[in-house]
Structure 1
Amino acid sequence: MLELKNITKSFGDRTIIKDLNVTVKDGEILSIVGPSGAGKTTLLRCITGLEQVNGGEFLVDGQPFDPYTNTSNDSVIGVVFQNFELFPHLTVMQNITLAPTMVLKESKADAEATAQKLLDRLNLGDHADQYPYQLSGGQKQRVAIARALAMRPNILCYDEPTSALDPNLRQEVEKLILGLKADGMTQIVVTHDLTFAKNIADDMLHVEPNQAD
């Protein structure tokens, strides 16, 4: 279970998030929704450790946890970026195995075995040797999800997972996220798509400009 207690985030004199309290239960999906500029992505960046908060605390299973300073080999929180952020010069397999071998110190054979299982699960089993430019938007997204899952996170976060995809692929993304939920994965999804958010979420957090609770 992830708890945010009195989280505050400012940039200069501008407060983006103020005294936010929210709980994400194990195995559930939280959708974070709101207009552009409301702080959705900033909040996600704080949760994933890409931004440091100005106040408040995070708890994971009741224990204090600072995602910004986490330096252990435990990938507690994974993230799938809006534009996927795949390395263009690496194959699909290399994109997925890079962090497990470098950060988790897995052997190349173990990392590749895990990656292949993830690719098979995501219907990308025959794409391991392809490069990102050879993939569709939906395929790139699934590779990005496989890369995040390869780090064995307890919580998986997504920044606007449908924004870079054709509308007809939204349902496929829903199925994928709900499939991961069925496997017990706790997930946090930032989206501007209210219908999509309602379809996947156990709980929804509405954020407004200058007030994220």
Structure 2
Amino acid sequence: MLEVRNLKKSFGNRQILDGVNLTVKDGEILCIVGPSGAGKTTLLRCITGLETPDSGDFFIDGRKFDPQGTEAPDRVIGVVFQDFKLFPNLSVMENITLAPILVLKKSKEEAVADAQKLLEELGLNTKGNLYPYQLSGGQKQRVAIARALAMEPKILCYDEPTSALDPNLRKDVANIILGLKKDGMTQLIVTHDLEFAQDIADDILRVQPLDQRKAE
């Protein structure tokens, strides 16, 4: 279970997050929805260690952890970026195996075997030798998911997983996320698409700009 307690973040004089609390139970999907400027992506970046919060605490299964930490107990969260962020000069297989070899210290043989299993599960078993420019948007996203899963996270986070895709791929994304849920993966998803969130989420956290909340 992931818990975030009293998370605060400002940029200059602008308060973006002011005491945010959330809980994601094991194996469940939490969607964070709200308009632009509400702090959805900032919240996700703090949880995944890409942004330094001003204050707040993070817990996994009751144990405090540092999303920016480099020790093994802190490496519990994977992230799938909105624009995928695949390395263009590396093949699909190399994109997936790079971090497990460098960070998890897996042998190349073990990393490749694990990556091939992930590619098969995601319907990409023939794409390992291709490069990102040879893939469709949906295929790039599945590679990004495989790359995140290769680091064996306890929780997988997504930033706007449907925004960079053709609308008819929305159902495919939902099926992948729900398939991972069946496998027990805890997932946290930032999305502007309320209908998509309602289709997949166990719980929905609705956020709005801080100045609007204060006005109310």
Work out the CA distance in 1 between the residues paired with 2:145 and 2:56: 29
Work out the CA distance in 2 between the residues paired with 1:212 and 1:22: 20
Q: Where do 1:93-112 residues align within 5 Å?
A: 93-112=93-112
Q: Could you list the per-position Cα deviations for residues 23-46 of structure 1 after superposition, in whole angstroms to 9, with x for gaps in the alignment?
A: 110000000000011110000000
Work out the CA distance in 2 between the residues paired with 1:203 and 1:211: 25
Residue 86 of structure 1: aligned partner: 86
Compute the displacement of 1:196 (Å). Answer: 0.2
What is the percentage of aligned positions where both structures have the same residue?
68
Residue 119 of structure 2: aligned partner: 119
| CA gap 1:54/1:133 in 2 versus in 1, 3 angstroms | same
Residue 31 of structure 1: aligned partner: 31
Work out the CA distance in 2 between the residues paired with 1:67 and 1:28: 20
Q: Given the alignment of the two structures, is residue 158 of structure 1 paired with residue 158 of structure 2, yes or no?
A: yes
**Partners of 1:16 and 1:211 within 8 A in 2:** no
Q: Could you list the per-position Cα deviations for residues 166-195 of structure 1 after superposition, in whole angstroms to 9, with x for gaps in the alignment?
A: 000000000000000000000000000000
| CA gap 1:143/1:212 in 2 versus in 1, 3 angstroms | farther
Residue 195 of structure 1: aligned partner: 195
Q: Given the alignment of the two structures, is residue 57 of structure 1 paired with residue 52 of structure 2, yes or no?
A: no
**Partners of 1:17 and 1:211 within 8 A in 2:** no
Write the letter of the residue equivalent to 1:107: S
| CA gap 1:167/1:111 in 2 versus in 1, 3 angstroms | same
Compute the displacement of 1:204 (Å). Answer: 0.5
Residue 182 of structure 1: aligned partner: 182
Work out the CA distance in 2 between the residues paired with 1:137 and 1:55: 36
Q: Could you list the per-position Cα deviations for residues 120-159 of structure 1 after superposition, in whole angstroms to 9, with x for gaps in the alignment?
A: 0000000000000000000000000000000000000000
Q: For this pair of structures, how many residues does the alignment match?
A: 212
Residue 129 of structure 1: aligned partner: 129
**Partners of 1:178 and 1:200 within 8 A in 2:** yes
| CA gap 1:211/1:6 in 2 versus in 1, 3 angstroms | farther
DSSP-derived class of the 1:152 partner: coil
Task: Extract unaligned runs of 5+ from structure 2.
Answer: none
Give the structure-1-normalised TM-score. Answer: 0.97
Give the structure-2-normalised TM-score. Answer: 0.96
Task: Extract unaligned runs of 5+ from structure 1.
Answer: none
Q: Where do 1:66-81 residues align within 5 Å?
A: 66-68=66-68, 70-74=69-73, 75-81=75-81
Work out the CA distance in 1 between the residues paired with 2:193 and 2:64: 32
TM-align CA RMSD: 1.2
Deviating runs (4+, > 3 A) in structure 1?
A: none
**Partners of 1:20 and 1:212 within 8 A in 2:** no
Write the letter of the residue equivalent to 1:161: P
| CA gap 1:212/1:16 in 2 versus in 1, 3 angstroms | farther
Q: Could you list the per-position Cα deviations for residues 72-112 of structure 1 after superposition, in whole angstroms to 9, with x for gaps in the alignment?
A: 13530000000000000000000000000000000000000
